[in-house]
Structure 1
């Protein structure tokens, strides 16, 4: 498992290739297939980021995620609930067709803010 440092944040993860805080936002780049085997790592990393940074925006770049199963979707939904509970927003950058399809089939595509790039998420109100 790699260790990422975000300013004052220390994140241990194998599924997040880069993470940083920018203003009141936390931006994380997720990579690889996210499934039952590694979704607990994703959950743990996201919870660490939320606890340490207390962001108003959680921006997850999923352009390098070719596949997510239901366990990964559950992590995203839990993260969305936590962000909404504190008045924050969760953004997904560039989901690939298979990931987008899973979100649509689960009827979750309208719950997340899906954007094409980081700037769109950072500039969103």
Structure 2
């Protein structure tokens, strides 16, 4: 999708500091972090949300990003949260599949 900010970030069209990336997915810091570690994991191809015909290879690439992010940020042993919102009523503000990886402190229930 040509006007999608997450497509542009994931594919290097807009500069960002990548935490990690692979062939099919990218991970970069959230612009408005809710925790000391708040990284977004997005597929490089556009999908509106997790129910938008995402193939297994893309999902596995996103899981690989999560594994690398938690290791690189040092939160793999202290606990972390991975969440996604689907649709406006759930709080999705960018219509591109993305997972929030949150950690680095004790997370309250209000982030659920």
> Normalising by structure 2, what TM-score?
0.38
Higher relative contact order (CA 8 A, sep 6+): 2
> More strand by proportion, 1 or 2?
1
**TM-score, length-scaled by structure 1:** 0.35
Bigger helix fraction: 1
